[in-house]
Structure 1
Amino acid sequence: MYLACDNLCFLAKNMYNLCNYTIRQEFFRTKTVKKYGVLNKELKHTDAFVELGSNAAQMVTKSLCKSWKSFLVAVKDYTMHPKKYLGKPKIPAYKKKDGRFICTLTNMQTHIKDGYLYFSFKRMKKYNNLIHTKVIGYHLGTRIIPKGGCYIIEIVYRDEKQFINNLDRNRISSIDLGINNFVTMVNNIEEPSIVINGKGIKSYNQYWNKKVSNLRRIAKAINGSDWTKRMQNLTNKRYFKMEYFMHCTSRWVVDYCVNHNIGTLIIGKNDGWKQKSNMHKVVNQTFTQIPYESFIKKLEYKCEEAGIDLIETEEAYTSGTSFLDDELPIKENYNKLRRVYRGLFRSNNGKYINADVNGAFQIMRKVFSNVKANEIVGAYSHPVIINL
């Protein structure tokens, strides 16, 4: 099945590059972008279109048209708000000659029967009844996604379940993301603070960095290669470990909120925080390799399913301002010298609080400025450690 998926994604790449070439030439000549209907009419008799199949080829064309539309919107916004961007938006580039691209099969080419995925697509029919799925919603299509040395088959469906949204919006929890303490979660309902241990993924990141660095050194010495199959296998293993951890953690957080009738969840996030991080080299390497964005995306859709309001907020000045002293997390109150010892924050009256717990409460205060420390019992108690 690997070879069949590989061939489809290779043909999808050919279609992508042909379509992109057509759009780019028109854009350079007239500064306009061809519409999907025009492209489909022009390219439907080309070899790339015919070899991939009309439905899959049309999905590639639609995907590229969306990319160009996003590019034009980004360029227009960049001229008015350049500081929002790391650099000027670039036009969609070609895929490498030996590269691969996502192949999307519509629900006319795939369907689900008795819990198994079936292909109406001719070259994939022999793999019918091999892929088991728990999908019970309306099947929209199937995506074959190249991921390093393997392919991920995603089943796209519309969840038709009706979710009852009856959680209490006044019961609030907030999250501070970190490295050793991957999730520090606090609340206003007199429950202990929670820390989800992140040392496991930190340790595996360190192992991956060390192993890949050593393998790269050996490969360069032997044949001048910069990447090997073994390195790719290690990278795939790391990716799946991270994905599993992010899914487990986001599920645990949502279940905790539902079990405690928490209807509002706040999470701290700064745009461009990885690009602007200025930590010690080793800490910075670990921080930038942990997929926080992936965790937030998984948390978003799980919260939506459970009827929880997820609020994202920037977390500036939350680590150096004091929750116990009812300080607002603003620049005027910021004093990083109060973060003492290892992971402790000292308030102005000499009380100590876990530094990440303090940060999580200040993230809550970013959204609800009327939160008071004396109203939350056990705000400076030691958090409960959760190992997943």
Structure 2
Amino acid sequence: MERHIITKSHYLYNFCDDICYKSKNLYNYSNYIIRQEYIFNHKFTGFYQLDRILKEKNQVDYRRLPNQTSQQTLRLLEKDWQSFFAANRDYKENPSKYTGKPRLPKYKKKQGRHIAIFTNQQCEIKDGFIKFPKSSEKIQTRVKENLAQVRIVPGGNCYIIEIVYQIEVPKKFSEIKNAISIDLGVNNLAAIVNNIGLKPVVIEGKIIKSINQYYNKEKARLMSFVGGRGNSNRIISLTEKRNRKIDDYLHKSSRFIIDYCKENSIDTIIIGNNPGWKQKVSTGKVNNQKFVFIPFKKLINQIKYKSEEKGINVKVVQESYTSKASFLDSDNIPEYKVENNEKHTFSGRRIYRGLYKTKAGILINSDCNGAYNCMRKVIPKFSLEEGIEGVGLHPVRLIPSLRQSNKGNLINFDKIYNTF
């Protein structure tokens, strides 16, 4: 996917603003029709019926938008309702998975904007430019062929044009041979261990902590001027800048992980993750804020779609008790269950921040210990004797960069140093 950020000074800003405003109006108008029918008659108005109603009524925003763009907005609305119905069914069977009962899809804000989608039948690539339908506007692109769609995504004080194209995806490996396991965290964004005898790697997480720390401090200062109004253009701009910085760092980190896998013939990525961990975390006000402000799900999704391009399998496992169990002592790793109050004992324990001490007194990086235990959940027979000899206990810390090195390596690091 190719992305273009359209600021207020860009020649396409007014075009994007107008299209997304009409898309929002159409979304709300259509959502009203569906809600009324569902609330009073307990019936759902699907895409084809809704499309016919809007054509018969000659609805103004439906008519002013390009035809397929209007239909794409309706399909997005239908998808939101289908997600609501699926969540509602699941809620009745597993209410403990949710923080509350699923609600009907809401209306967009009156002065808000909504994503607009153009299909590959509407847009054409010519002389390195993509031309938009019902308009003379166009945007330069590096995409040559296999265009899938073009999306205009509202971003507060800017718009993001996403040019989506198709690529040939290689066949995935059927069995696990070479694998890495990732433990996600705050100070260490990702602790990466492997089963092929390489030294573990830790991606620095304090970069995101620093970005969030400045954001929280500056936002609090600006909020003191805003008072009860709750928002301002400067706060919106600050939030956008913070989000772009974090997105950039997550993309660099996920790209490093994928390139690392390709360099070392890795066929499987194992990621530790706990559903709802941000809602249930209780580590104090300051630490909670640091943890919740790190978009781990976004990082996982980036790793997933980038690994698909390279034919690498991704397995997400529950990481309950992986930080408490001792990998070197081959402790049993139980599954966490809300209704189970049983207490578990383990051979080792964490003695300092970042250090785990085994039963035999061996010190291992605590995040690496957690990552190795995540690997054991997928590869039960994996142990220290099977491919790791000492080098797997203490990692190298790095900050990933996308700049090419003079030696032609895939990744050049801004900063590398040893840690525990």
| Same fold at TM > 0.5 | yes
Correspondence for 1:3: 14
Correspondence for 1:146: 154
Alpha-carbon distance change, 322 to 300 in structure 1, aligned in 2, over 3 angstroms: same
Alpha-carbon distance change, 135 to 20 in structure 1, aligned in 2, over 3 angstroms: same
Please give the residue correspondences for 1:117-196 in structure 2 after superposition, counting only pairs within 5 Å.
117-122=130-135, 125=136, 127-128=137-138, 131-159=139-167, 161=168, 163=170, 165=172, 169-196=176-203
What's the C-alpha RMSD, in Å, of the aligned pairs? 1.8
Stretch moving more, 260-269 or 150-159: 150-159
Correspondence for 1:269: 273
Aligned: 1:110 with 2:123? yes
Give the counterpart letter for 2:166 in structure 1: R
Aligned: 1:387 with 2:391? no
- How many residues are paired up? 379
Q: Summarize deviations over 1:46-76 as a string: whole Å, max 9, x none.
A: 1121122322211111111111122112212
Structure 1 residue 252: Cα displacement:
0.6
Q: Distance in 2 between matches of 1:190 and 1:216?
A: 51
Give the counterpart letter for 2:105 in structure 1: P
Instruction: Give 1:20's match in structure 2, choosing from 31, 56, 59.
Output: 31
TM-score for both structures, normalised by structure 1:
0.93
Give the counterpart letter for 1:10 in structure 2: Y
Structure 1 residue 210: Cα displacement:
0.4
Structure 1 residue 295: Cα displacement:
0.7
Correspondence for 2:389: 377
Instruction: Give 2:231's match in structure 1, choosing from 223, 227, 231.
Output: 227
Give the counterpart letter for 2:198 in structure 1: E
Assess if the C-alpha contact under 8 Å between 1:167 and 1:258 holds in 2: no
Structure 1 residue 166: Cα displacement:
6.4
Correspondence for 2:52: 41
Percent of paired sites with the same residue = 41
Give the counterpart letter for 1:42 in structure 2: I
Q: Summarize deviations over 1:70-127 as a string: whole Å, max 9, x none.
A: 21122122112212222111111111111111111222332222332222332xx1x3
Q: Distance in 2 between matches of 1:321 and 1:58?
A: 52
Structure 1 residue 335: Cα displacement:
4.9
Q: Summarize deviations over 1:203-240 as a string: whole Å, max 9, x none.
A: 111000000011101222xxx43211111111111111
Q: Distance in 1 between matches of 2:312 and 2:73?
A: 35
| Larger helix share, 1 or 2 | 1
Instruction: Give 2:373's match in structure 1, choosing from 345, 362, 378.
Output: 362
Q: Distance in 2 between matches of 1:226 and 1:354?
A: 43
Q: Distance in 1 between matches of 2:345 and 2:213?
A: 32
Q: Distance in 2 between matches of 1:380 and 1:56?
A: 52
Q: Distance in 2 between matches of 1:362 and 1:10?
A: 49
Question: Structure 1: 5+ residue runs without aligned partners?
Answer: none
Assess if the C-alpha contact under 8 Å between 1:165 and 1:307 holds in 2: yes
Correspondence for 2:69: 56
Stretch moving more, 134-143 or 290-299: 134-143
Alpha-carbon distance change, 165 to 42 in structure 1, aligned in 2, over 3 angstroms: closer
Instruction: Give 1:72's match in structure 2, choosing from 69, 79, 85.
Output: 85
Alpha-carbon distance change, 259 to 37 in structure 1, aligned in 2, over 3 angstroms: same
Question: Structure 2: 5+ residue runs without aligned partners?
Answer: 1-11, 336-342, 401-420
Partner SS for 1:274: helix
Aligned: 1:319 with 2:323? yes
Q: Distance in 1 between matches of 2:348 and 2:332?
A: 17
TM-score for both structures, normalised by structure 2:
0.86
Correspondence for 1:286: 290
Assess if the C-alpha contact under 8 Å between 1:321 and 1:333 holds in 2: no
Alpha-carbon distance change, 336 to 212 in structure 1, aligned in 2, over 3 angstroms: farther
Q: Distance in 1 between matches of 2:211 and 2:174?
A: 37
